[in-house]
Amino acid sequence: MVTTGTEETVCRLVREYSDMLLRLACTRLSSVSDAEDAVQEVFLRLLSAPVSFRDAGHEKAWLIRTTLHRASDIRRQAEKRNLPLEEAAQTAAPEPGTDLLQAVQALPEKYGAVIHLHYYEGYSIREIGTLLGLPAATVGTRLARGRERLRELLKEEIK
Partner 1 sequence: MNWNDYRKAVDALPLSGDFQERTEELVRRTAKIVKLEKECISVKKKGFVKAVSIAAAVALLTISAYAASRLLSPAQVADIHGNAALAQAFESEDAVKLNQSVQTEKLCVTLAGLVSGENLSEWTDQADQSRTYAVMILESLDGTPLDIDDFSITEYTFTPLVAGFTPWSVNNWTLDAGVSLLERDGALYYLLDTRNIEMFADHTVYMAFYQGRLPDPDIFTMTEDGTISFAESFEGPQALFTLPLDESKADPAAVEKFMNDSGFDREWFTS
Which residues contact residue 115 at a Cβ distance below 8 angstroms, ignoring those fewer than 6 apart?
A: 27, 104, 107, 143, 146, 147, 150
Considering the rule CB under 8 A, would residue 80 count as an interface residue with partner 1?
Answer: yes
Positive or negative CA dihedral for 30, 32, 38, 42?
positive
Considering the rule CB under 8 A, would residue 50 count as an interface residue with partner 1?
Answer: yes
Closest separation between CB of residue 80 and partner 1, Å? 3
d(CA 140, CA 125): 6
Measured between alpha carbons, how far is residue 101 from residues 3, 14, 106, 140 in Å? 35, 25, 9, 20
Q: Which stretch binds partner 1 (CB under 8 A): 93-101, 123-131, 138-146?
A: 93-101
Considering the rule CB under 8 A, would residue 152 count as an interface residue with partner 1?
Answer: no
Considering the rule CB under 8 A, would residue 130 count as an interface residue with partner 1?
Answer: no
Q: Which stretch binds partner 1 (CB under 8 A): 38-46, 124-132, 135-143?
A: 38-46
| Mask for 95-124, x = binds partner 1 (CB under 8 A) | x-xxxxx--x---xxx-----x--xx----
Asked if residues 116 and 21 have their Cβ atoms less than 8 Å apart, the reply is no
Q: Which of 137-145's residues contact partners 24+ apart within 8 Å by CB, and which partners?
A: 139/114, 142/110, 142/111, 142/114, 143/111, 143/114, 143/115, 143/118, 145/111
| Mask for 58-77, x = binds partner 1 (CB under 8 A) | x---x------x--xx--xx
Binding-site ranges for partner 1 (CB under 8 A): 3, 6-7, 10-11, 14-15, 18-19, 22-23, 26-27, 32, 36, 39-40, 43-45, 47-53, 58, 62, 69, 72-73, 76-77, 79-81, 93-95, 97-101, 104, 108-110, 116, 119-120, 154, 156, 158-159
